[in-house]
Structures are given as C-alpha cells and as structure tokens.
C-alpha cells in the first residue's frame, strides 16, 4: 500500500520555523512508523533526523507525536494508523532537529528524584531480601523506559514547564514504595514542592501516552497521598 507521510521538519541551521514536508512511501500494513522513517531517510531525504536504537519498544528513544498522539515509532503499526500519517516531535521540549528533541530538562527532573536505591543499613553479605508482596507493591512503575511520552503529553507540563512531570514521579514511586529503600522521605519532600505532585490535575493524557501501559495517574495519586501522610 501507499502511505502519505507528513513530517514536521526543522533544521535550525537552515530554517526559521518548522514546516511540514510530505512523502509517499510504499508500506506493508504490519510495518511500523519507524520503518517508514527509515525508508524516507534511505530513499528520499538523507537529512531526515530522528532517534532510534532498539526498534523493539525497549530503549525509549523514538517517542514522537504520531497522528496527534505520543507513541513509539517502533511500536505503532501502519494498519493502526491508516494511509495518512503525520509525525512531529514531542511537544514542550526544544527541537534539536526534525524529530529529535533536547531531553536534558527531562533527564534532570528524573535525576532530581534520586531514582536509585538508598539505604541506611550496611550492605548485607548477600542480597537485600524482599517478599513477593513487597516487590509487587511497585511492580508497575519498574516498567518505565524513560521515553518522555507521558510528560510531553501533559497539559500541566505544557502550561508550567518547571513541573517535575509524570515520568519523574513514576520513577520516584518505584523507590518510595520499595521496602529496601530508606530515602522515601527525602523524595517526598522534593515532590511536595510547588513543582511537584500538586501540579498534576488528573488529566490522564499521560496514561493514554504510555507505551508500557503504566497506570501513571494511580502512581501519582499514591505519591500525593504519601506526601500528605508525611506532612501530618
Ligand atoms: Fe514513557 Fe511510560 Fe515511562 Fe512515561 S511512564 S517515560 S510514557 S514509559
Ligand atoms: Fe498530566 Fe497525567 Fe496529571 S496528563 S495532569 S500528569 S494525570
Ligand atoms: Fe527503542 Fe523504539 S527504538 S523504543
């Protein structure tokens, strides 16, 4: 089948503003959008720029706005989108070139919640043990691949770019509710800030956007509840 692909292009060395360019691409229904982008780059315009690595929904590097929704280009298929497909960079982050956005602010918010295990007790001789129930407590939020699809779909983030955003809260949740971790209080203090959990207005765009199916809003509500419990 023939697909009409429109891509929002921007080269800061050449363009003063982003503009749409159209391409006609031969595709199979089971092809992914990443296949189409690769074909355009190989056969029609080698200057087209996008990120990708694993091509299997694991590395999180090819989230983009596809037919109006944030998705991974390597996961969404042509038969799910139809013969007219539009692709644009994620909203709310500076465009470096074409579909590549600057992820620095996204990752600095991720780092701000200290997304690693912190313990007060000395390291045991073997592993720090955990019951299956305790492990299950934060299982959902271990699935994040840091693609930024959630944060860049969030109207609260668009309105207030200093909002820490759903991805950082998801990754804080993963450690706050880990029974082996001792730094939950510090993370809750960070997320009690004006740019923390209170900026969430329960809009749910993040849940729709997440390619890992994480119940992000539930995670945010659980962290919000923990922030309140800590303060009383
Ligand atoms: Fe991507 Fe989901 Fe992680 Fe957000 S929570 S960064 S959408 S994987
Ligand atoms: Fe934004 Fe998701 Fe909250 S879209 S407002 S972080 S529920
Ligand atoms: Fe790795 Fe798509 S290329 S998630």
Pocket probe mutation, ligand 1, options 145, 163, 217, max atoms within 8 Å of Cβ: 145
Residue with the smallest CA separation from ligand 1 atom 6 is: 146
What pLDDT is stored for residue 77 in this prediction? 98
Domain of residue 189, residue span: 104-231
Instruction: Quote the percentage of the chain above a pLDDT of 70.
Output: 100
Tokens, residue 166:
């759903």
The encoded tokens of residue 191 equal: 């997320």
Distance 195 CA to ligand 3 centre (A): 29
Domain count, the chain: 2
Q: Is 37 helix (H, G, I), strand (E, B) or coil?
A: helix
pLDDT at 231: 84
Least confident of 17-21, 120-124, 220-224: 120-124
pLDDT at 154 over 90: yes
Distances (CA, A) of 115 to 14, 93, 120, 124: 39, 22, 16, 21
193-225 CB burial, b ≥16 within 10 A, e <16: eebbbebbeeeebbbebbbbebebbebbebbbe
> d(Cα 199, Cα 188) in Å, to the nearest integer?
14
Cα angle 183, 189, 191 (rounded to 5 degrees) comes to 105
Please name which ligand lies nearest the alpha carbon of 218.
Answer: 2
Q: What is the pLDDT of residue 136?
A: 98
Distance between Cα 145 and ligand 1 center (Å)? 6
Q: How far is the CA of 151 from the centre of ligand 1 (A)?
A: 8
Give residue-wise pLDDT tens across range 13-67.
999 999 999 999 999 999 999 999 999 999 999 999 999 999 999 999 999 999 9
Q: Are residues 147 and 225 in the same domain?
A: yes
Domain boundary among 32, 66, 101: 101
Q: Final residue of a domain: which of 101, 128, 153?
A: 101
Round the CA-based radius of gyration of the chain to a whole number and report it.
Answer: 20
How many residues would you count in the chain?
Answer: 232
Same domain? For 193 and 204 the reply is yes
- Whether 191 and 113 map to the same domain: the answer is yes
DSSP assignment, residue 17? S
Q: Are 211 and 161 members of one domain?
A: yes
Q: How many CA atoms lie within 13 A of 11 on its CB side?
A: 6
Query: For the chain, what is the largest distance between any 2 Cα atoms, rounded to a whole number of angstroms?
Result: 62
* pLDDT band, very low/low/confident/very high, at 137 (cuts 50, 70, 90): very high
Domain boundary among 53, 84, 101: 101
Q: Nearest Cα to 141, choosing from 201, 181, 192, 194? A: 181
Q: Is 47 helix (H, G, I), strand (E, B) or coil?
A: coil
Question: What DSSP line would sit under 68-106, residue for residue?
Answer: TEEEETTT-BHHHH-SEEEEEPPTTS-EEETTEE--HHH
* 181 and 227 share one domain: yes
CA distance 90 to 214: 19
Q: Is residue 154 located within the same domain as residue 189? A: yes
pTM above 0.75, yes or no: yes
Domain check: are 59 and 150 in the same one? no
> From the CB of 119, is ligand 2 less than 6 Å away?
no
Residues 29 and 127 in one domain: no
Confidence bin at 83 (pLDDT 50/70/90): very high
Pocket test for ligand 2, best of 204, 209, 210, 224 (most atoms within 8 A of CB): 204
Q: Are residues 45 and 140 in the same domain?
A: no
Residue 232 clears pLDDT 90, i.e. is over it: no
Give the pLDDT band (50/70/90) at residue 94. Answer: very high
CATH number reported for the structural domain that contains residue 28 in this entry: 3.10.20.30
């Amino acid at each position: 089948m023939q697909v009409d692909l429109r891509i929002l292009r921007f080269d800061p060395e050449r363009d003063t503003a982003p503009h749409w360019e159209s391409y006609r691409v031969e595709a199979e229904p089971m092809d992914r959008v990443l296949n189409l982008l690769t074909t355009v780059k190989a056969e029609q315009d080698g200057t087209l720029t996008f990120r990708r690595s694993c091509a299997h929904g694991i590395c999180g590097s090819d989230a983009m706005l596809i037919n109006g929704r944030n998705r991974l280009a390597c996961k969404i298929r042509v038969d799910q989108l139809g013969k007219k497909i539009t692709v644009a960079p994620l909203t709310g982050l500076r465009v470096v070139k074409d579909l590549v956005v600057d992820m620095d602010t996204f990752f600095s918010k991720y780092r701000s919640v200290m997304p690693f295990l912190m313990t007060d007790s000395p390291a045991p001789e073997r592993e720090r043990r955990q019951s299956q129930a305790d492990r299950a407590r934060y299982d959902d939020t271990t699935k994040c691949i840091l693609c930024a699809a959630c944060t860049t779909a969030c109207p609260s983030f668009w309105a207030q770019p200093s909002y820490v955003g759903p991805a950082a809260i998801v990754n804080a949740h993963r450690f706050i509710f880990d029974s082996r971790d001792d730094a939950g209080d510090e993370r809750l203090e960070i997320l009690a800030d004006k740019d923390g959990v209170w900026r969430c207005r329960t809009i749910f765009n993040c849940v729709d956007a997440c390619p890992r199916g994480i119940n992000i809003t539930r995670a945010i509500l659980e962290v919000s509840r923990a922030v309140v419990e800590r303060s009383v």
